[in-house]
Structure 1
Amino acid sequence: MAAAAPSSVVAGLVSGLGLARSSLTPSDGRSPSLSPLHPPWPAAPRLVCRSSGARPPRERAVAAAAAAANSPRQQQQLGEHEHEEAVAAAAMEPERSSPHEVREEIARCFDLVRRLGRGAVYLGSSRIARLLDCTTWSGAGPGFMDAATQGALEAGKPVGGFKIGKEAGEWTTSNFHPYLPSESYLTCRFFSARKHGLVDAAVRNCPTDRTAIIALPGGIGTLDELFEMMALIQLERIGSTLPVPFLLLNYDSYYSKLLDFLNDCEEWGTVAPGEVASLWKVCNGNHEALEYLAQFYNVPLAERNYCISPQLKQQATS
C-alpha cells in the first residue's frame, strides 16, 4: 500500500480533529454558533491614543490608576479608555536587562577573538593547529574539547575558548578553567554569546586566514552547534566570500546514523539532493581530515607535519 503524501496526512488530521473549514461554517453561510465547550477568545485590552492634545499613554495610565485609587466616581470620569490603559499598564512587564547583557557578552567574545586570532573551531588534534598554524578554539570544557586544547598546547599554538559554567554530565558549576590562563578564555552566561564567539573565530577575513570548523562526536549541545554552523554555511552567513572548511569527524561510525537520517531527508524531499554533502566533508579519521585541510589550503608538502599517505605522495611526484 502506497504511503499517503504528508500534506494529505496533515489534512486528514486537521479534518479528524474537527478543524476543517467545512465543519465550522453552516451550509446557509451564517456564522457558526459556539458551544459552551468552545467559548470565544477574551478581548484584549485596547490601547487608544488620541490624535491631539492628549497625554502620552503611560502618563494617562498612571493618572487613571491614581484616580481609581481615590474613588469610583473619579474612575468613571476618566472614561473607559483611560481605565483600560491602566489595566494594560499594570500587566506590562518591567524592561528586561538580558538583551543588554547578551550584547555586552558578545562584545567580550569578539574582543577575545580579536586578541587571540581566528583559527580552527572544535564543536581535537594538535596536528591541525600545527598544520594550519592557527589558534585553536573550543568550548573550553572536558572530553574532546579538552583533547583539542591539550593538543594545541603541545603544538605550541595559541588556545582560546568560550566556556559555560556547567557542561552536560558535570555535577558542579565552575566559571574557571583548571589550567588555561584567564585571559585566553571567557565564561559565557548566554549560549547565544558563546555561539557568536565560535562563529566569529571561524570566519575568514582575508585569503591568508586558515580557519576550519571541526565537529567531533558529542551530545545535544554539539548537535545544536553542528546544525547551526551548517545552516549558516548553507545561508552563506559563513564563507560567502572566503569559504571555510567544515569537517564532520565520524570516528568509529559515530555519526553514521545521523548521515542515514539526512539521506532519508533527501528521499522525503525536505533536503535537496547533494545539499548536505556540499556543506561539509565527512572524515573517518584524523589522517583523512589533515589531508583534506592540506589540500583545501594548498599547504606545501614540506609543511605538512604528518605522515602523508602513499596515494598523495604518488600524486605529488607524478
Structure 2
Amino acid sequence: MEQRQLGRSGLRVSRLALGTMNWGLGTDANDAADQLVAFRDAGGTLVDTADVYQNGHSEHILGGLLGTVVPRDDIIVATKAGAHRHDGPFGTGASRGALLNALDGSLRRLRVDHIDLWQLHTWDPSVPLQETLDALDTAVNSGKVRYVGVSNHTGWQLATTATLSRTTRTALSSLQTEYSLVERTAEHEIVPAADHHGLGLLAWAPLGRGVLTGKYRTTTPADSRGAHPHLADYVDHHRTERASRIVQAVFTAAEGLGTSPMAVALAWVRDRPGVASAVLGARTSTQLTTSLASEDIVLPPTIQAALDDVSATTDTGPAPG
C-alpha cells in the first residue's frame, strides 16, 4: 500500500487507515484481530481509534492485539481525546487536566508507552486555546506522544488552532474530518485551511457512512449499521435524494471499470488533493478486504469528472461533527 507524508510532518502513513469505531460494538476481539492482520498484510500502517469509542473498549481491544497479533512497531497508533468520557472533573473537554488524564487512560488501555498521533476529538470553546495547546506540548515533551492533530474542527477553528500551535514547540500535523462524495462541504474552508497550514487530511466516513456502497438503495439490511438502534441516525443523515443520484453514478462507474461501488467511492476520496489517508470503518474482515481492493483502482479522468459533477455542492456550511 502506498505510504504518504502526513502534511509537512515527518510521519508517513498508509493512504488507507483502519478505523475502529465498531470495535466492541458490532466487531468483537476475534473479528478485530482478523481485520488488523488483513490490514497489516495489505501494507496498511495507520490505525485510528478514540478514548470514547465504546467507552474505551475499542482502545482496549486494540491494545490486546498490539505485540501479540501484530508487532507494535508495524502499526501507527492514532487515538483522540477531549470528547465526553464521564461526568467526573476530568472526564470531558480540552483542559490541561482532562487531556493529560485522558492520555494516561489511553496509554493504559492500548498497553503502549507512547501514542504516534494524538488528536483533539473536537473543539472546546470553554477552555483557553493556549491551555489546550500547552497540554499537547506537554504530552509530546514527555515522550508519551509523537505527533498531534485535531478532529472535527471547522475552517476557522482549524486555522486558529494551527496558527497558535506555531507559538509552541509542537505544531499540528493533521486534521480529521468527514469527507466523501456525499459530504464535500469540507472543501469550502477546511481543506484549504489544512493545505495552507501544511496539515495532512484524514478523511473519515469515506463511504458516506455506508450509503455509497449501495446497501441502502432499496432496503435496510438487518445486519447493517442502519438497522442498529444506536447508529441508524448516523446512517440516515446521508440517505437523501441527492445521495441516491450519487450512488447511481458510483454504480455506473463501477460497472464500467469492472469493480465494486465501494472501491470507486474510496478511490475518489483517497486521491483528493490534500488527503493523506481515508479511514475505513469496516464491521467485518470481509468488508475490510473488499475495501482494501480499492488500492488497485485508479479512476480515469472522465469518470473522476463525472463523479465530481454529480456530487458538486454549493453548501458552505461546516461539515457535521
Q: TM-score, normalised by structure 2?
A: 0.30
Of Structure 1 and Structure 2, the greater strand share is in: 2
When normalised by structure 1's length, the TM-score is: 0.30
Which is higher, the Rg of structure 1 or of structure 2? 1
